[in-house]
Amino acid sequence: MCEIHSYSDEVTEAVGRELGKLLGPGDFVSLIGNLGAGKTTLVRGIASGLAVMDTVSSPSFLIIQEYRGRYPVFHGDFYRLGSYQELEDIGWDEYFRREGIILVEWGNLIPEAIPEDYLEVEIQQPGSVTERLLKFIPYGKHYRSVVEELARKCESWG
């Protein structure tokens, strides 16, 4: 696990940008945290690190938004979903076959949708409105190496 303290949206995005540079096809990131914790801010940074040029916004009402970057980026939000069946109805399994990167906000709400190996990012707000504690929790060897590399790149931020 790696913890990084951020004191502004700009730093949160910069950490996300560094993470994005480390991700590749088939990677899965689940972001958890309270409403307004900064999940979409971090996703904006990840997308930037993946060379996405479009404006990234929360997919709350769309469930999944797609972006083009170095690889396809699928940005999901499980907050308004009631069951795994709703994901199946939109072709959830197809996203895994498209060799993109899947970023899911509120992934903890539908755990059966999360693969065995993935990266969990827990975002906490320990103090001021812009202060964040970003916890990167790897599940699987690949994600352990991603988190180790991210920790090296972001040493001065943690």
Identify whether 145 is part of a domain.
Answer: no
pLDDT greater than 80 at residue 37: yes
Identify whether 157 is part of a domain.
Answer: no
Number of domains in the chain: 1
* pLDDT confidence tier of residue 26, bands split at 50, 70 and 90: very high
Which contacts of 51-58 are long-range, i.e. CB under 8 A and separated by 24 or more positions? 58/105
DSSP annotation of 108 reads G
Mean pLDDT for the stretch of residues 96-122: 94
Identify whether 156 is part of a domain.
Answer: no
Single-letter amino acid code for the residue at 33 = G
Identify whether 24 is part of a domain.
Answer: yes
Name the residue range of residue 69's domain: 2-137
| pLDDT reported for residue 63 | 81
For 43-101, write each residue's pLDDT tens digit. Answer: 999 999 999 998 887 766 668 899 999 999 999 999 888 899 998 998 899 999 998 99
| pLDDT reported for residue 138 | 98
Question: Strand 101-105 and strand 72-77: pairing?
Answer: parallel
Identify whether 142 is part of a domain.
Answer: no
Question: What CATH number corresponds to the domain at position 14?
Answer: 3.40.50.300
Identify whether 54 is part of a domain.
Answer: yes
